[in-house]
Amino acid sequence: MKSGKAIFTEPSFPIKCAGAPQKILYLWSDVWSHKRLPIEVEFYKTVAVMFGVPKYSQTLTRVAASYGIKTTFKTPLIKVKGNEATFQNLDTKELTVKQFDFLHVVPPMGPHSYIAESGLADATGYLDCHKNTLRHNKYSNIWGIGDCTNLPNSKTAAAVFS
């Protein structure tokens, strides 16, 4: 891509690594910036902040601004047809159609069906664990760890350091 509009998106939550859509956004923005290519970059977020961990959110907001990335919050991607992407503002329900030359889409994420359908999951589909002990809330011989659990933190490495 030598010119045009690049749009990056973030799926609706749950998302296993909220930083994943931003990593590729910044990598490409850096490449295009160093090559001085006339590429307009937009990033559509499903939530109201750049990142769920405040200290990272502040830094990532500055990083996006340094690359000239236009960020739009609370506006998930709902449809793609040809080179047009349709977004919906979560507050106003207004639809916006954007043309693009490059579109990066992170697919929706969720619990694994083998856990969600096992009888071991809570209503969200994740392994039903006590948040302090990691022991299953019904079966005392089952323990959970990682992205498969219903623990109240995001499912990303940043949550470990918070």
All domains of the chain in start order, with CATH: 4-104 (3.50.50.60), 110-151 (no CATH)
Count CB-CB contacts under 10 A for residue 36: 7
pLDDT reading at 19 higher than 90: no
Predicted local confidence at residue 160, as pLDDT: 62
Predicted local confidence at residue 100, as pLDDT: 98
Secondary structure string (H, E, C) spanning 20-69? HHHHHHHHHHHHHHHCCCCEEEEEECCCCCCCCCHHHHHHHHHHHHHHCC
pLDDT average, residue stretch 14-38: 90
How far apart are alpha carbons 133 and 144 in whole angstroms? Answer: 9
pLDDT average, residue stretch 41-47: 96
Backbone angles phi, psi at 141, to 5 degrees: -95, 10
Is the Cβ–Cβ distance between 127 and 144 less than 8 Å?
yes
**With pLDDT > 90 as the criterion, what percentage of the chain qualifies?**
75
> pTM of the predicted model, to two decimals?
0.76
Torsion of CA 32, 68, 42, 82, to 10 degrees: -40
Is the Cβ–Cβ distance between 57 and 71 less than 8 Å?
no
Predicted local confidence at residue 25, as pLDDT: 96
Token reading at 153: 């933190």
**With pLDDT > 70 as the criterion, what percentage of the chain qualifies?**
94
* pLDDT, averaged across the chain: 92
Token reading at 31: 């490449």
pLDDT reading at 154 higher than 80: no
Is the Cβ–Cβ distance between 109 and 11 less than 8 Å?
yes
pLDDT reading at 158 higher than 70: no
When pLDDT is cut at 50, 70 and 90, the band that residue 146 belongs to is confident
The DSSP bridge partners found for residue 87 are 77, 96
pLDDT average, residue stretch 136-149: 93
